[in-house]
Amino acid sequence: MAQAQSAAGGAAPLLSVRDLAVHFPAGRRAGRPVVVKAVDGVSFDLERGRTLAIVGESGSGKTTTALSVLRLSEPTSGSIHFDGQDLTALRGEPLRKMRRRLQLVFQDPYSSLNPRQRAGDIVRAPLDLMGIDPPGGREARVAQMFELVGLRPEQRTMFPHQFSGGQRQRLNVARALASAPDLIVCDEPVSALDIAIRAQILNLLRRIQREQGQSFLFISHDMAVVEHICDDIAVMYLGKIIERASRRAFFTRPLHPYSVALMSAVPTVKGGREVAARRVRLSGDPPSPVDPPPGCRFAGRCPAAAPACSEREPPLREVAPGHSVACHFVAVRDGAVTAPL
């Protein structure tokens, strides 16, 4: 894989998203247009061969962010650079060519498979659709993908309903990998699976990444899953990223009150027990993305909120190398980071 160089001389990120906004028109109320601000100013980088997890509660904008990266949802503003090219500016043939490098694995392994298509044809379909002729031919590529994800060659003639849930997700992964993409977006890929099968699929994804070097944008609301799979993490709340860190830094010490609350809800994650001891309960629902509150969007649910929090919006600031957080009360004093919870 050709590695672009950044201005600083290191390898440039594979994916670079800046100030992404995705606003959906949703009719009119009291004579004024209603706009759902699903994603409202999101920036992040995804390095080559790494996994960035995007976590957050339902409705925080994770899927909309992912769909924009895949050009399946049109951004309202902002830029998305993939391997140095602005994806939002691509149209026609260049966009078609680019699509083979970006693939998606959905949450529900059944509804995303054509029930009348045989498994081998499902995996072959993207090659036919995009006119890709891999060395050795399309059928050889399909066989290779079956082997890679741990499906047996004779299963190529079976239909989706003849597979178990875990096997169907393996089939989805095989289909996503067929076009040899550089980036795979996984949107809650194990949420619909039994706990026992989850680890198998996560381990499969990790092994594939180790062997083939793809980058994963991994979307999940499950901290235990994220801890298992990611290198870096971005926490979303109501259309914004409120904390971004390496897995190690985040799971050692989450800094944003919302991150602490998410972690205390999952005592099984490493460090979760200590965080849980702080007993930060997340009550109520996030506000509406139609009229996000002024100031900090988490203020209405934050145990550390002060009056000033609702007046000014906290920017996402780097408080330690690679660790950024959007909270007025996370500070650096004498080289040490202090947090409100």
Contact residues: ligand SF4, CB under 6 A: 256-257, 296, 298-299, 302, 304-305, 309, 314, 327-329, 340
User: x/- contact string, 218-257, with ligand ATP (CB under 6 A)?
Assistant: ---x------------------------------------
Cβ contacts of 100 within 8 Å, gap of 6 or more = 126, 130, 132, 179, 180, 181
Dihedral sign for Cα 309, 21, 87, 220, please: positive
Residue (63 or 179) nearer to ligand ATP, CB: 63
Residue (14 or 302) nearer to ligand SF4, CB: 302
Beta strands (DSSP E) in 30-118 are 32-46, 51-55, 77-82, 85-86, 102-105
Distance, C-alpha 87 to centroid of its chain? 17
What does 46 interact with, of Mg ion, ligand SF4, ligand ATP, none (CB < 5 to 8 A by kind)? none
Give me the least distance between CB of 188 and ligand ATP, in Å please. Answer: 7
Residue (129 or 290) nearer to ligand ATP, CB: 290
Give me the least distance between CB of 129 and ligand ATP, in Å please. Answer: 24
Residue (122 or 219) nearer to Mg ion, CB: 219
What's phi and psi for 97, nearest 5 deg?
-65, -40
Residue (61 or 126) nearer to ligand ATP, CB: 61
The C-alpha R_g of the chain, in whole angstroms, comes to 21
Q: First CA to last CA across the chain, in angstroms? A: 43
Size of the site for ligand ATP (CB under 6 A): 14
Tokens representing 152 are 């047996």
Stretch that binds Mg ion, among 58-66, 173-181, 201-209, 327-335 (CB under 5 A): 58-66
Give me the least distance between CB of 22 and ligand ATP, in Å please. Answer: 8
Whether 215 and 46 have beta carbons less than 8 Å apart is answered as yes
What does 289 interact with, of ligand ATP, ligand SF4, Mg ion, none (CB < 5 to 8 A by kind)? ligand ATP
The CA-based dihedral angle spanning residues 52, 126, 71, 104, taken in that order and rounded to the nearest 10 degrees: -30
Please, how many CA atoms are within 13 Å of residue 292, restricted to the half-sphere of its CB?
A: 23
* Residue indicated by tokens 């979303």: 236
Give me the least distance between CB of 112 and Mg ion, in Å please. Answer: 14
Distance between CA 117 and CA 215 in Å, rounded? Answer: 29
What does 302 interact with, of ligand SF4, ligand ATP, Mg ion, none (CB < 5 to 8 A by kind)? ligand SF4
What does 209 interact with, of ligand SF4, ligand ATP, Mg ion, none (CB < 5 to 8 A by kind)? none
Query: Which of 225, 212, 251, 217 has its CA nearest to residue 47?
Result: 217
In the region spanning residues 17 to 56, those forming contacts with ligand ATP, defined by CB under 6 A, are 24, 26, 36, 38, 56
* Bridge partner residues of 79 (DSSP): 18
Residue number of the CB atom closest to Mg ion: 63
Residues that bind ligand ATP (CB under 6 A): 24, 26, 36, 38, 56, 58-64, 221, 289
